[in-house]
Structure 1
Amino acid sequence: MSDLSTLTIPLTLTDQMGRRVVVPYPPQRIVSLVPSQTELLFDLGLGERVVGVTKFCIHPAKARQQATVIGGTKNFDFEKISALKPDLIIGNKEENYQAGIEQLAAHYPVWLSDISNLTDALRMIRQVGVVVGAKTKADQLAADIECSFAQLAPVASPVPAAYFIWRKPYMVAATGTFIDDMLTRAGFANVFAPQQRYPEVSAEQLAAAAPRIILLSSEPYPFSARHVAEFQAICPSAPVQIVDGELFSWYGSRLQNSAAYFADLRATVVT
């Protein structure tokens, strides 16, 4: 006799890439290939159903302890994933790699997000809620995040800023990125907006862009106080500040904390 608590039915839906995905509903064995979406699943109360995560899924701390680590976001261990027998894999267009996703999609339901702004992130949260059977919690979470950002009034004179994500070579977040949207909402004007995605820039290009402030992200490159002088030498008149990269780039439930963080930044650097 079947256990009614584990019965599933096929659910057909479309992910943020426009792909048709058929998922056993509700999914019981989920592999998450994206750190921010792993945290979202746990915050939706689905931690016990998450059987696989990446080595970069550091929130919550227990994620990598209770689930199998299946490699990185761009190098999956397919044998480990196969052994987990997932009935849903959740990934992201930018953070994962196409060849790996295609290989997984040939065998499992793979739902992909595609996020470049807050609207996309809120839609992802709500859609994931539907996919995993946690619609009410996801809808409330998205509404709370949306409300927190609505309380951030537009800044009359955004501060020209450069946001660095990497060193050797220098790389910045430019137009078309989620970080760029967060910069705007935080009250900054991206001096590298004419460029696309994550371009490499030289010290000369940075000096010519003349930002009024330089923001060094805590991730993916671990910028710290010891790097401040390096950038100060390039732009002597621009203050250099280390910022919490997770609150600028994680597009899951961590967004609950982003608006308040941006408000504090405004109080200190945005005029």
Structure 2
Amino acid sequence: MNRIRITVVAALAGVLLLGACGTTEPASTAPEPGAAAAGPVTVTDTRGKTLSLDRPAQRVVGLEWSEVEQLLTLGVTPVGVADPKGYATWVTAAKLDATVKDVGTRAEPSVDAIVALQPDLVIARANRGAEVIAQLEKYVPVLVTKGSDTTDNIGRMRREFEMIATATGRTDQAAKTLADFDSALTDGKQKIAAADATGQRFAIADGYLEGGTVSIRMFGQGTFVSQIGTRLGLTNAWPGKGDPAWDLDQTDVEGLTALGGGDLRFFYNASDGDDVFAGGLSGNPIWQSMPFVKQKNLHRMPDGIWTFGGPLSGIQYAEQLVRIYAS
């Protein structure tokens, strides 16, 4: 694989003058604990494309919340984020400073707003479109993540976190965080086993009210949070197969009968305050007949635990599952 060096083209200088003009000094050759390493870095992204940077990236723009969480976890405050207001609603694992610039939505980030920030790296998601990535790569290196791999989403998260850490010179911090993540799963599994809860069933869902109809999105076996539950020794009870990329399956209230009865616990998020399970379904007889509703095994997760997040969100989710099953 050829190494490529991507630099900001000279023709962009006029555009950059319209944006922020501050620069960041190079890292010290002897960084303090927690600081970025110095010197050139080379990293290969999920496309198989190799980026070579003269120094670890310091001015970084993140276009997906999971990757923004990972940057903050590593001690890197991004200069720009897609939909920072949404991030603050859905992600609490790593707090984002309110002064970070908004560069548009995750689905439609603004290339002009990103370039004006003079980043030395943009972290983008492959599923958001090759066209935006191609436009950005005219001006700045772009590191592309997948965001999901239903065959091994925990392993995928680890690899992408390490990739971002390499690009930002924070591999020591990444190793420590991943060790904490591993410990949370190991300790949690032991606590669940000690509570004689190994093998108990769970289901995870999001709910939406659209035109008076409740639509339910089930998290299949291949999703990140489902695989966390499995690592803890639990069993995802949803029998359906979701989309190939994310293993998210759409159903309605009647479809939930596929979960059956028994010891199942039903988990969901409603960080935006729109709790359709407690509100929109409160008078639905099919919903009220569900065994987990009757048994009060319905659990709204604390707001701000991102189900598609990085290692810190994963630790948050694991801790909540352990709290429910091992208390």
CA distance in 2, matches of 1:223, 1:233: 18
Q: 2:316 aligns with which of 232, 257, 262?
A: 257
- The range that moved more, 74-83 or 162-171, is 162-171
1:226 paired residue number: 279
CA distance in 2, matches of 1:172, 1:135: 34
Higher helix share: 1
1:142 paired residue number: 178
Change (3 A) 1:176 1:97: farther
Question: Larger radius of gyration, structure 1 or 2?
Answer: 2
Change (3 A) 1:217 1:22: same
1:6 paired residue number: 26
Cα shift at 1:111:
1.2
2:112 paired residue number: 79
Q: 2:143 aligns with which of 86, 102, 111?
A: 111
1:161 paired residue number: 203
Partner SS for 2:251: coil
Change (3 A) 1:62 1:203: closer
Contiguous gaps of at least 5 residues in structure 2? 1-22, 28-37
TM-score (norm 2): 0.69
Change (3 A) 1:72 1:157: same
Change (3 A) 1:67 1:256: same
TM-score (norm 1): 0.81
CA distance in 1, matches of 2:235, 2:275: 20
CA distance in 1, matches of 2:46, 2:271: 25
Q: Which amino acid aligns with 2:241?
A: P
Cα shift at 1:13:
1.8
CA distance in 1, matches of 2:188, 2:176: 19
Change (3 A) 1:213 1:14: same
- Equivalent residues in 2 for 1:1-271 (5 A)? 5-6=25-26, 11-47=41-77, 50-55=78-83, 56-58=86-88, 59=92, 60-63=94-97, 65-94=98-127, 96-114=128-146, 115-116=148-149, 117-153=153-189, 156-168=198-210, 169-186=215-232, 187-196=234-243, 197-210=247-260, 212-219=264-271, 222-223=274-275, 225-227=278-280, 229=282, 233-234=286-287, 235-239=289-293, 240-244=298-302, 246=305, 248-267=307-326
Change (3 A) 1:221 1:201: farther
Cα shift at 1:134:
1.3
Cα shift at 1:70:
0.4
Change (3 A) 1:220 1:20: farther
Identity in percent: 19
CA distance in 2, matches of 1:213, 1:45: 36
CA distance in 2, matches of 1:45, 1:177: 27
2:220–2:242 Cα contact (<8 Å) kept: yes
Partner SS for 2:241: coil
Partner SS for 1:107: coil
Change (3 A) 1:171 1:228: same
1:80-118 deviation line (CA, Å, top 9, x unaligned): 112112110112335x44432333234321112223422
- The range that moved more, 161-170 or 139-148, is 161-170
Q: CA RMSD in A?
A: 3.0
Moved beyond 6 Å, runs of 4+: none
Cα shift at 1:30:
0.5
Q: Which amino acid aligns with 2:144?
A: L
